[in-house]
Structure 1
Amino acid sequence: MQLLDLTLPSPEENLALDEALLNNAESSGRPLEVLRLWEPIEPLVVIGRASKLHEEVNVEACQSRGVRFLRRASGGAAVVTGRGCLMYAVVLSYELHPQLTALDLCHQYVMGRLQKTLAGQVPEVDFQGTCDLTLDGRKFSGNSLRCKRSHLIYHGTLLYDFDLDLIPELLRTPPRMPDYREHRPHESFVTNVPIPREMIRQQLIEAWETTGPMLDWPSELTAQLVAEKYTNPEWTSMR
Structure 2
Amino acid sequence: MQLLDLTLPTPEENLALDEALLTQAETGNQVVEVLRIWEPTEPLVVIGRASKLHEEVNVEVCQARGIPVLRRSSGGASVVTGSGCLMYAVVLSYQQHPELAALDVCHQFVMGRLKESLAQEVPQIDLQGTCDLTLEGRKFSGNSLRCKRTHLIYHGTLLYDFDLKLIPELLRTPPRMPDYREHRPHESFVTNVPIPREIIRKRLIEAWQPTGEMDAWPRDLTAQLVAEKYTNPKWTSMR
Over the matched positions of the two proteins, sequence identity in percent amounts to: 80
Partner of 1:41: 41
CA distance in structure 2 between the aligned counterparts of 1:136 and 1:64, rounded to whole angstroms: 34
**1:12 correspondence with 2:29:** no
For 2:232, the equivalent position in structure 1 comes to 232
Q: Do residues 189 (structure 1) and 189 (structure 2) align? A: yes
- Equivalent position amino acid for 1:210 in 2: P
TM-score, normalising length: structure 1? 1.00
How big is the alpha-carbon RMSD for the aligned residues of Structure 1 and Structure 2? 0.4
1:21-69 CA deviation, whole Å, 9 max, x = no partner?
0000001112100000000000000000000000000001101111110
Alignment of 1:18-97 (within 5 A): 18-97=18-97
Q: Show the counterpart of 1:172.
A: 172
Match of 1:105 in 2: 105
CA distance in 1, matches of 2:30, 2:213: 18
Amino acid at match of 2:58: N
1:117 corresponds in structure 2 to 117
Partner SS state of residue 49, structure 2: coil
State the distance in 2 between where 1:119 and 1:64 align.
Answer: 39
Q: SS in structure 2 opposite 1:154?
A: strand
Mapping of 1:210-229 within 5 angstroms?
210-229=210-229
Q: Tell me the CA shift for residue 127 of structure 1.
A: 0.3
In 2, the alpha carbon distance for the partners of 1:61 and 1:231 equals 20
Instruction: Return the letter of the residue paired with 2:27.
Output: S
List structure 1 segments (4+ residues) > 3 angstroms apart after TM superposition. none
Secondary structure of the 1:7 match is coil
One-letter identity of the residue aligned with 1:84: G
**1:36 partner amino acid:** R
Structure 1's unaligned 5+ residue stretches are none
CA distance in 1, matches of 2:89, 2:20: 12
Aligned counterparts of 1:200 and 1:31: Cα–Cα separation in 2: 27
Give the Cα separation in 2 of the matches to 1:232 and 1:61: 20
Partner residue, 1:135: 135
Query: Deviation per CA, 1:51-99, whole angstroms, max 9, x where unpaired?
Result: 0000000001101111110000000000000000000000000000000
Normalising by structure 2, we get a TM-score of: 1.00
- Count of aligned pairs: 239
Match of 2:157, SS state, is strand
In structure 1, the residue matched to 2:205 is 205
Cα distance in 2, alignment partners of residues 150 and 135 from structure 1:
34
**Structure 1 Cα separation of the partners of residues 201 and 139 of structure 2:** 19
In structure 2, how many angstroms separate the alpha carbons of the residues matched to 1:29 and 1:124? 42
1:237 is aligned with what amino acid? S
Aligned partner of residue 142 in structure 2, secondary structure: strand
